[in-house]
Amino acid sequence: MCGRYTLVKKAEDIEKRFHVQIEEDSVHPSYNAAPSQNLPVISNYNPTLAAYYKWGLIPFWAKDAAIGNKLINARAETLLEKPSFKKSLQSKRCLVIADGFYEWQKNGKTKQPYRITLKDNGLFAFAGLWDEWKNEQGNKVRSFTIITTSPNSLMESIHDRMPVILKPEDEKDWLGTNLRPEDALELLRPYNAKQMQAYQVSKLVNSPANNNPELIEHL
């Protein structure tokens, strides 16, 4: 599962890393990105733009936007089996921009949060799916989900799932219009553990109301 992540890099760093323009005039650092928030993604609809989509996929056929609260993640192993994700895998894929994510390790009756990043603390992209839904007023809502997979050797002692971090060389292919679903699935592998690091952080991250630099500090 991936229920929180961070994006604290500057707008110019994002634009340089992904060769895109950012939709908003300014990007505010997010030390605790949470479901239901609008967050920057790069979709195959417009791969030169980082646009703000709502976290929590609302399929185009949904009767109620509340379904998005249950679809913040999509398991890589069952994407072709789930009506909520099958069509998006075929034609609506996206890169979810991040520079870290949180996961909670169970210690008896308590849970200790960890922040996981690349060792160079650089930007990366989660593999994501998106969709477009219209509310009763006819307004369009674009939303996304983050794909998860089995843990690598770094993550397995913390949690039994991890978000799919795409290799930089696979990001363009993930957004490609001619990518077949079976080939897309081949890109959804655990990231190289040797290129990642994890450290304990404050339990203040447990509340999405908290969003400040203290959350990403080492304990």
The reported pLDDT for the residue numbered 25 is 65
143 has a pLDDT exceeding 90:
yes
Reported as a single tens digit per residue, the pLDDT across 87-137 is 999 999 999 999 999 999 998 899 999 999 999 999 999 999 999 999 989
The band of 147, judged by pLDDT with boundaries at 50, 70 and 90, is: very high
Reported as a single tens digit per residue, the pLDDT across 19-60 is 999 987 667 899 999 999 999 999 999 999 999 999 999 999
Dmax (CA) of the chain: 49
Answer yes or no: are the C-beta atoms of 96 and 126 closer than 8 Å.
Answer: yes
212 has a pLDDT exceeding 80:
yes
Q: Which of 2, 24, 81, 217 is catalytic?
A: 2
103 an active-site residue?
A: yes
DSSP state of 166: P
214 an active-site residue?
A: no
Q: Which of 24, 94, 103, 156 is catalytic?
A: 103
The reported pLDDT for the residue numbered 1 is 86
How large is the average pLDDT for residues 181-189? 96
How large is the average pLDDT for residues 158-183? 96
CATH of domain 5-216: 3.90.1680.10
**Pairing status of strand 140-149 against strand 73-75:** parallel
Which of 169, 191, 186 is CA-nearest to residue 77?
A: 186
